Structures are given as structure tokens and as C-alpha cells.
């Protein structure tokens, strides 16, 4: 099978690595792929593929003309919920709000009414935005839409129809995080993987729904963050439903000799580090994403730059992948996913998918192209969809 880079859309490139949520690619229970993105007009849109990413539909705008700045999405089945809503939130600079809308992938892509999760007053190209659904059904949005003053956590108990402000997990303007479902007895509790940039530390922050409180436990120190204006993300997550845990991968440093691409298995009660995916990088590496093949429970991790240092970060690199069949105890040899050196500033993978043949990455090319890397039974080349 040849690997093919398919041009999915031209995008507003900065918004795709603007410290926002990292899961923009969904494979539904029926095998349909959804790519949600900020298009060249700065609107939130989605495209679909029914053939593993080889071809895509035209874009459907779901936000209106809003000058989107950040974007984050979540899919019901990532929380073990037996339904097919894709939850989408975005911040924007027209009204400076955090807005929410869902796509019903099981009902002809019916769109919910747009609601306001947070009515803001300013936005900026920094900060963070992350949405997730608890296993019990509540939806949470952690936001920092202006790099400091407008930060918080909003929660909906009615599938996004209304929102309430809850205790904020944020600390400093530049910090980033990824919101996840929790695994406590209260299935409305949530978990935030929090990167404290000033302290060079990643921690888990646990949200207690009934108490409306956050508690923090360190995961790793010595974690040097790379500016999102260069590329994003350098940490990523996936939900391991079978083992009732969340997976986290993160670079200890970017474009740095002896950097490691690390991996952890995380629950409320424990954090267990697995074998490093990349140990003592030569240089010129960064970006990461993780996905679980639900048919085999194998883990796949994609990242940017060859481990021998022969490529140039981030202007001339390929995407590479390693697989683990034993829950991170060992990793396969490095395999190239692309065959064209280019500037890569953004990378995501569907965090849960079925069948390794549809394992793919979305990434941002040199000229703000959103590219899909997919298996394709034909000679390599580029197909331009738009």
C-alpha cells in the first residue's frame, strides 16, 4: 500500500496550532471520517470521507462568519457513550465568545443550535481551548481565549443547550491543557492534562463534579514547552476505554538533542510511564499524536522529524510513526508516513479508530494546506480535492 498525501482544504493555518484542542479528526462507529477545521475564511467547517481519507466532501460551514481563533472537538464514543454526536467549540474575535455546536453523525449531520458557553470581551492568538464529555454525559470546556484574563471552565448538563461557569483550573496566561473524561466512581468527574510552561511541568488536574474543585498531581518535570507559534501540538492524548485509563504522549523538549518522546498511562489513582517512544533524539523533532486501533488495541504514535537528525525542524521534515502491541512496553521501528519534506506546523490523529489501514494524520503543509495522509492502493502522488 502506497502512502498518499491528500489535500483536504486550504486553512487559516495559525488557528490550527494556536494552543487549542488537539483532536480534530473523528472516525465514527460506521467508519466515516470527519475532519473539523478552521477554513481559509476563518469559519469552522467540516468535511467527510467514506473511503479512508482518499476523497473528501466539500466543506460544510457550521459557525457562520465569526473569525474563529481557536477550535476544539470531542466525539461521544471517545467517552464510551453509545451515540454519535461530535461536539465542537470555538473562540472567535467577532463577538469574543466561546461557542458550542454539535454535529449528529448518525442523523444526516443534523446541527444543534449554537449556544454560548462563555460570553467574552477579548480574544488573542494565545491561550487554550479544550472540550471533552464526561462518561456520565456532562460536557466541559476549559478555555483561555485571550492569553490571560478571560480564563475558566464551563459545564453543560443538558448536551450543550445551557452552560454554567464552574471553578477554573487555570494558573498562568501561557499554560495549556487537554481536557479528558475521568475514571472515578462519579462518572461526571473529568481530568485535565496541564502543561505549566513556567515550571516546565506536566500534571494531571482532577475535577470533582460534586465538589466543583480541582486537585493537582505532578506527572513529569523537566518538560520544556515549544512556542505554539512555531508548531502545535507537542503533547496529545487518547482514551483507552478497555483499560479504563487515559494515555498521554509528550516531548520533553522540541528541536533539541537528547529530547525524549514520552508516554504515560493515567488514572485518578496512578500514573505509569511506559517505554519512551523516542529516546535521546538526535535533534530536529517535535509534534506528536496518538491513536488506538480499537480492533487490536494497538497504539500508534505519529511525530515530526526523523530520529537520526537528518531533517530540519520544522521547515523540512516528514511525519513518522511507531506502533506498540504491548501497551507501551516496546515500540516498533520508525516508519515514514510521508515521503515529501515540507514545513509541518500542525499534526493530529484520530485518537480512536478501527483498522490500521485507516490510521492517518492531518497536518499543515508549507502554504496552509490541511493534508490527510492515508493508505492508498495506487502509485504515490497528490490528489487535490479543492
Q: Domain limits of the chain?
A: 2-384
Q: What are phi and psi of 223, to 5 degrees?
A: -105, 100
Q: Is the model's pLDDT at 101 over the cut of 70? A: yes
**At 175, is the secondary structure helix, strand, or coil?**
coil
Contact (Cβ atoms closer than 8 angstroms) between residue 221 and residue 194 = no
Rounded average pLDDT over 237-258: 97
The pLDDT value recorded for residue 256 is: 95
* H-helix or E-strand spanning residue 215: strand 213-221
Q: Looking at residue 376, what is its pLDDT?
A: 41
Comparing CA positions, the residue from 81, 124, 72 lying closest to residue 99 is 72
How far is Cα 146 from Cα 168, in angstroms, rounded to an integer? 15
Reported confidence tier of residue 382, pLDDT bands at 50, 70, 90: very low
Judge whether residue 272 has pLDDT over 70.
yes
pTM higher than 0.75: yes
* Residue pLDDT, tens place only, 192-203: 999 998 999 999
User: What was the pLDDT predicted at 386?
Assistant: 29
The percentage of residues in the chain with a pLDDT greater than 90, rounded to a whole number, is 63
Q: What is the pLDDT of residue 385?
A: 29
Res. 10: pLDDT tops 90: no
Can you name the residues that pair with 325 across neighbouring β-strands? none
* Best CA proximity match to 3, nearest among 269, 281, 320, 283: 320
Write the pLDDT tens digit of every residue in 337-362: 888 888 888 888 899 998 755 566 77
Q: What is the pLDDT of residue 278?
A: 98
Closest alpha carbon to 26 in 375, 376, 369, 360: 360
Across all residues in the chain, what is the average pLDDT? 88
Q: Can the peptide bond before residue 233 be classed as cis, meaning omega within 30 degrees of 0? A: yes
User: Residue 358's pLDDT is what?
Assistant: 52
Provide mean pLDDT across the span 63-86: 93
Q: Is the pLDDT of residue 26 over 50?
A: yes
On the question of a cis peptide bond just before residue 269, with omega within 30 degrees of 0, the verdict is no
In this prediction, what percent of the chain has a pLDDT beyond 70? Answer: 89
| pLDDT exceeds 90 at position 374 | no
Confidence of residue 106 (pLDDT cuts 50, 70, 90): very high
As assigned by CATH, the class of the 2-384 domain is: mainly beta
Which range has the top average pLDDT, 2-16, 304-318, 336-350, 363-377? Answer: 304-318
- Residue 316 binned pLDDT confidence (cut-offs 50, 70, 90): very high
Across the range 302-320, mean pLDDT stands at 93
pLDDT at 9 over 80: no
Q: State pLDDT tens for residues 139-180.
A: 999 999 887 788 999 999 999 999 999 999 988 777 889 999
What's residue 142's pLDDT?
95
pLDDT at residue number 232: 83
Task: Specify whether the CB–CB gap between 125 and 66 falls below 8 A.
Answer: no
* pLDDT tier for residue 229 given thresholds of 50, 70 and 90: confident
Q: Which long-range contacts (CB under 8 A, 24 or more apart) does 279-283 make?
A: 281/256, 281/257, 281/305, 281/307, 281/309, 282/257, 282/307, 282/308, 282/309, 283/255, 283/256, 283/257, 283/309, 283/313
The tally of CA atoms less than 13 A away on the side-chain side of residue 292 is 22
Amino acid at each position: 500500500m502506497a502512502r498518499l498525501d491528500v489535500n483536504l482544504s486550504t486553512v487559516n493555518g495559525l488557528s490550527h496550532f494556536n494552543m487549542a484542542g488537539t483532536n480534530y479528526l473523528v472516525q465514527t462507529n460506521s467508519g466515516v471520517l470527519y475532519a473539523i477545521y478552521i477554513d481559509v475564511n476563518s469559519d469552522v467547517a467540516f468535511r467527510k470521507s467514506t473511503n479512508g481519507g482518499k476523497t473528501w466532501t466539500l466543506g460544510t460551514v457550521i459557525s457562520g462568519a465569526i473569525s474563529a481563533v481557536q477550535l476544539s472537538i470531542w466525539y461521544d464514543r471517545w467517552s464510551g457513550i453509545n451515540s454519535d454526536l461530535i461536539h465542537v467549540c470555538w473562540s472567535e474575535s467577532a463577538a469574543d465568545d466561546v461557542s458550542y455546536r454539535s454535529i449528529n453523525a448518525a442523523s444526516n449531520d443534523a446541527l444543534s443550535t449554537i449556544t454560548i458557553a462563555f460570553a467574552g470581551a477579548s480574544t488573542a492568538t494565545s491561550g487554550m481551548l479544550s472540550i471533552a464529555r464526561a462518561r456520565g454525559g456532562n460536557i466541559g470546556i476549559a478555555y483561555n481565549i485571550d492569553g490571560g484574563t478571560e480564563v475558566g471552565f464551563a459545564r453543560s448538563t443538558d448536551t450543550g443547550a445551557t452552560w454554567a461557569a464552574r471553578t477554573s483550573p487555570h494558573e498562568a496566561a501561557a499554560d495549556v491543557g487537554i481536557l479528558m473524561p475521568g475514571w472515578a466512581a462519579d462518572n461526571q468527574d473529568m481530568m485535565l492534562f496541564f502543561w505549566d510552561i513556567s515550571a516546565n511541568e506536566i500534571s494531571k488536574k482532577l475535577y470533582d463534579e460534586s465538589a466543583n474543585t480541582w486537585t493537582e498531581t505532578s506527572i513529569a518535570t523537566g518538560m520544556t514547552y515549544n512556542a505554539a507559534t512555531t508548531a502545535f501540538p507537542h503533547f496529545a492524548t487518547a482514551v483507552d476505554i478497555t483499560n479504563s485509563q487515559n494515555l498521554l504522549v509528550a516531548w520533553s523538549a522540541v528541536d533539541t538533542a537528547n529530547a525524549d518522546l514520552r508516554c504515560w498511562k493515567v488514572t485518578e489513582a496512578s500514573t505509569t510511564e511506559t517505554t519512551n517512544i523516542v529516546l535521546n533524539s538526535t535533534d530536529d523533532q517535535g509534534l506528536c499524536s496518538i491513536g488506538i486501533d480499537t480492533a487490536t488495541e494497538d497504539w500508534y504514535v505519529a511525530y515530526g522529524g526523523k530520529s537520526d537528525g537528518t531533517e530540519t525542524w520544522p521547515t523540512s521534515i516528514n511525519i513518522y510513526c511507531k506502533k506498540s502491541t504491548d501497551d507501551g512496553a516496546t515500540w516498533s521501528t520508525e516508519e515514514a508516513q510521508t515521503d515529501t519534506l515540507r514545513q509541518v506546523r500542525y499534526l493530529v490523529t484520530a485518537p480512536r479508530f478501527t483498522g490500521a489501514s485507516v490510521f492517518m494524520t492531518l497536518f499543515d503543509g508549507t502554504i496552509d494546506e490541511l493534508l490527510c495522509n492515508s493508505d492508498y492502493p495506487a502509485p504515490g502522488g497528490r490528489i487535490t480535492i479543492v
